[in-house]
A = this chain, B = another copy of it.
Amino acid sequence: METRGRALRADAERTVRTILEAAERVLAADPTATMEQIAAAAGVARTTVHRRFATREALVEALATWATERFHQAVEAARPLTSPPLVALHQVTANVLQVKIGWSFAMSRTAPSDPEAARVHADVLAQCDRLFRRAQEAGLMSADTDLEWARRVYYALIHEAAEEGREIVDIGAVDQLAARVVDTLLHGVGAPVQTLPRRPVGGAGSSGPDADGHPGPR
């Protein structure tokens, strides 16, 4: 039931880390898991958890804050503001994936009531925006691309890739995932657009892909 006494002893510090890691694992599997389960997973008594984190809420918040730091570092380490857009894109993606895979629960909680976390997320958002703008200037994205939508798609793809990477432990596979995310973000999963598709293959009299209009009736 203490929140901030003073410096913790070495073993206590270790216990805190152990609890946080256990909490991540357990809560990722079941967000409604009980303190009891978390304590068990951490190999400590339930009372010890309460000693370190006054309330369940405090524990989750600590988890979120902890993950947010990693997240921020992951983005910063990619230097998305200075390296060439495509490189930065890949780098950021890989780094963030790494974090999201290991801290999926914590990352799923945009720490409410934590102004620091909010600041970080806003900051990252801004950096993402700037990166995309640079991507536009570099001709990677066309000038009329909706950056808001692009960002959402980007986030969604990262989330999806992280999900897929859940069961993967192999490092290096992360780079492959990142490559796929970036490629998909920029070019989708479709075939490259032929400028003049004269009679595709043959077969059912399908109406050829009409630019971008709405195809059928309702």
Contact = CB atoms under 8 A, between A and B. Distances in A.
A51 B92 CA distance: 53
A185 B190 contact: yes
A86 B209 contact: yes
A149 B180 contact: yes
Most chain B C-beta atoms within 10 Å of own C-beta, residue among A159, A187, A192, A197:
A187
Given A184-B153, A188-B186, A204-B84, A216 B91 contact: yes
A90 B216 CA distance: 8
B138 A87 contact: no
Interface residues of A, number: 58
A139 B84 contact: no
Nearest to A78: B216
A206 to B, nearest CB: 4
Contacts of A203: 137-138
Interface centre among A153, A154, A197 (most CB of B within 10 A): A153
A189 B156 contact: no
A175 B192 CA distance: 24
Most buried by B among A85, A139, A155, A188: A188
Number of copies: 2
A207 B87 contact: yes
Given A87-B215, A90-B214, A209 B140 contact: yes
A140 to B, nearest CB: 6
Given A84-B204, A201-B139, A188 B184 contact: yes
Given A87-B216, A137-B201, A192 B193 contact: yes
Contacts of A154: 189
A209 B180 CA distance: 15
B184 A187 contact: no
A83 to B, nearest CB: 7
B191 A142 contact: yes
Given A138-B203, A193-B193, 11 more contacts: A83-B216, A140-B191, A145-B189, A146-B189, A149-B189, A150-B189, A153-B157, A153-B184, A153-B188, A184-B188, A186-B190
